[in-house]
A and B are shown apart, each in its own frame.
Chain A
Amino acid sequence: MEASRPEMIGFNAVNKFYGSLAALVDVTEQVGRGEVVVVCGPSGSGKSTLIRTVNRLEEIHSGSIAFDGRDVHAAMSSSQLNRLRSRIGFVFQSFNLFPHLSALENVMLSPVRVNGTPRAEAREKALALLDRVGLSAKRDSFPSQLSGGQQQRVAIARALAMEPPAMLFDEPTSALDPEMIGEVLSVMRGLAGDGMTMMCVTHEMAFARDVADRVWFMDEGRIVETAPPDDFFGRPQHPRAQRFLSELRVR
């Protein structure tokens, strides 16, 4: 973490196992307020597991994770955990929009049902968010009527509707056709430009280069290298990172 930034997300000696397989090993890192961190690494290296531990969709076996000063994995009532999760924006690889609700209703549901926001107010805000992701015209469309890129933009608006201080992205463009990746990334760029704290698992190296403050490289459950993108792409230190990047270039 850059010295000037206070901490938003902090991993402290986090370990997690699937049976005898170590999924996360001694992960200790911080994401600062307003910082954009891109997590990359080969498949199976623990990137998705790591990001899913932040809102406790995955449990950990030892260590601790702080979000905005709260210990996420401490013993707490389920309503406390729900409140904490409602403040952590999460965007999934497979969008996971609710198919029985229109785009507008997808964005309105949680503010109304979780936070108790009056419908009129939630609707107003949802319309503004759909506008922000460029989908005002699609507000009455259902997920099955939207392209992948449009669905993911609605999913981002849905997460933003809870006004989270930070957003987590778990491979947000991996399920998209190539021509739709750009529209999602440009929404994410806009968010980063507005100062949103972001932690993003992605294979989009151009995005990492342009937008990230730091890149974390993971291998076999460990964060083996963290560096500003220029350093990471120009002078990777860890041999595994060097190999990973050279394989990307070949592709």
Chain B
Amino acid sequence: MTMLANIADIVRENWLLLLIGQYPNGPVGGIVATLMLSALGIGLAFPLGVVLALASLSPWRALRWPVFALIYLARGIPLLLIILWVYFLLPVLIGRNVPGFVTMLVTLSIYQAAFISEIVRSGIQALPRGQMDAARALGHSHLSAMRWVVLPQALFNTIPSILSQFVSTIKDTTLGYVINVPELTFAAGQINNRLLTKPFEVYAILAVAYFIVCWTLTWFAHELERRIAASRTNVTAAGGASLSPARAATAEV
């Protein structure tokens, strides 16, 4: 019980640091920074991943090859190394300082987009060819067929894999620690350095915090999946189906 009491004490004494870092005396940090980095990272990586997937399926080599090069890099090099590279090299290349938060966000987004693009590509290629044929026969352009026929199915079918990638994006924000992005792990490190004698308690708080964030996202994704599935098999009398918000967002013609 003393350990739980210790944890409670640590949280009580450091909750503001864990929540927002040293803001307003420094940049926003703590779990708020982690959430911002995660949300922006996912928000950038997902659309970029879809665009990269479309490019990787393009008939033009000039679009395909850069995507595959990026994917091979992302697969072959640890994210930590890429972050260090960008952190040290980018300021030299562009001749000005780049905030750690921006470095982390851009690197993470592009890195995750590479993996998301492969998931989306597999989802697109798993659909029967007849779907594209039917859309083209009706006069849809390639992009219109993708937008209204192929992607709504492919993205839905790949929700579980895309969710895993989102969760791993959240967990990868911890690597911001090494380039001094003051996110949650960084705040915990500060606390641990100050207390010195309670690493287990400090890092238990950290683990629980990440678990809650990731679990929330997982729950939300499952809920979304359930709602879309329900909206696409609705047999009830006319009217009931079209009221579902998930359907309005995803299946709207």
Q: Which A residues are CB-close (under 8 A) to B235?
A: 140-141, 145
**Cβ of B23 to closest chain A Cβ, rounded Å:** 44
Q: Is the CB of A57 within 8 A of B137?
A: yes
Q: Is the CB of A98 within 8 A of B139?
A: no
Stretch at the interface among B8-16, B63-71, B128-136: B128-136
**Cβ of B129 to closest chain A Cβ, rounded Å:** 9
Q: Is the CB of B251 within 8 A of A162?
A: no
Q: Is the CB of B137 within 8 A of A139?
A: no
Partner of A113, one of B128, B140, B237: B140
Q: Is the CB of B133 within 8 A of A92?
A: yes
Stretch at the interface among B33-41, B116-124, B141-149, B183-191: B141-149
Partner of A57, one of B136, B141, B144: B136
**Cβ of B191 to closest chain A Cβ, rounded Å:** 48
Partner of B138, one of A102, A114, A145: A114
Size range of the chain B interface in the assembly? 20 to 34
Chain A 135-172, CB-CB to B under 8 Å as 1, else 0, gives 00001111011000000000100110010000000000
Q: Which B residues are CB-close (under 8 A) to A92?
A: 130, 133-134, 137
Q: Which residue of B lies closest to A102 (CB)?
A: B241
Size range of the chain A interface in the assembly? 35 or more
CA distance A204 to B166 in the complex (A): 52
Q: Is the CB of B253 within 8 A of A119?
A: yes
Q: Which B residues are CB-close (under 8 A) to A115?
A: 139
With A90-B138, A96-B128, A140-B237 already in contact, 16 other A-B pairs whose C-beta atoms are closer than 8 Å: A79-B141, A85-B136, A87-B139, A92-B137, A96-B131, A96-B133, A98-B131, A98-B153, A99-B232, A100-B152, A110-B139, A114-B140, A119-B253, A140-B241, A142-B233, A145-B235
Residues of chain B touching chain A, judged by Cβ–Cβ distance below 8 Å, are 128, 130-131, 133-142, 144, 148-149, 152-153, 156, 232-235, 237-238, 241, 250-251, 253
